[in-house]
Amino acid sequence: MTIHSYHAKLITGEEKALADFVGQVVLIVNTASKCGFTPQYKELQTLYEKYHQQGFVILAFPCDQFRNQEFTEHDQIAEFCQVNYRVSFPLFQKVDVKGKHAHPLFQYLTENTSGFLTKTIKWNFTKFLVNQKGHVIKRYGPPTKPSEIEKDIVALLKD
């Protein structure tokens, strides 16, 4: 199994096969619009613009499991991300990232990486770096700024 085995709905409602990202370095992030880490969207967008043409993509999955820090409606999420951060990377519909209703992609991601002391995602803006073949390479905690991941992204892009 790899991330390419999964599907998810884009914020627009369109079903998206993650197999569409074969051959790309992928950073998967569970996001929230009203979180203390939300300003990370700015650095994420910067990384995306800098490396997208080289085969890098960010997939953002809004989540409302951590103190209800996400908008209720998908159009609110999309508007917030566009207006405040000019997000142009793929944004997906809200998902659960932990618990019995966790999206299968996040079940896979957490089963194949460990966080600090546990495999469970503990907060918004947990990040998973995935190689071109769809294998999870590394997991980063919420406080890790996207700019701190840049060297790992560049190393994978050179592979």
Residues noted as catalytic: 35
Taking the CA atoms of the chain, what radius of gyration do you get in angstroms?
Answer: 14
Q: Which amino acid is at 140?
A: Y
Whole-angstrom distance, CA of residue 3 vs CA of residue 21:
9
- The four Cα atoms 102, 105, 108, 112 give a dihedral, to 10 degrees, of -110
Q: For residue 100, give Cα distances in angstroms to 26, 97, 123, 156.
A: 25, 9, 17, 32
Q: Which amino acid is at 11?
A: I
Q: In sequence order, what E strands does the chain have? A: 7-9, 15-17, 25-31, 56-62, 127-130, 136-140
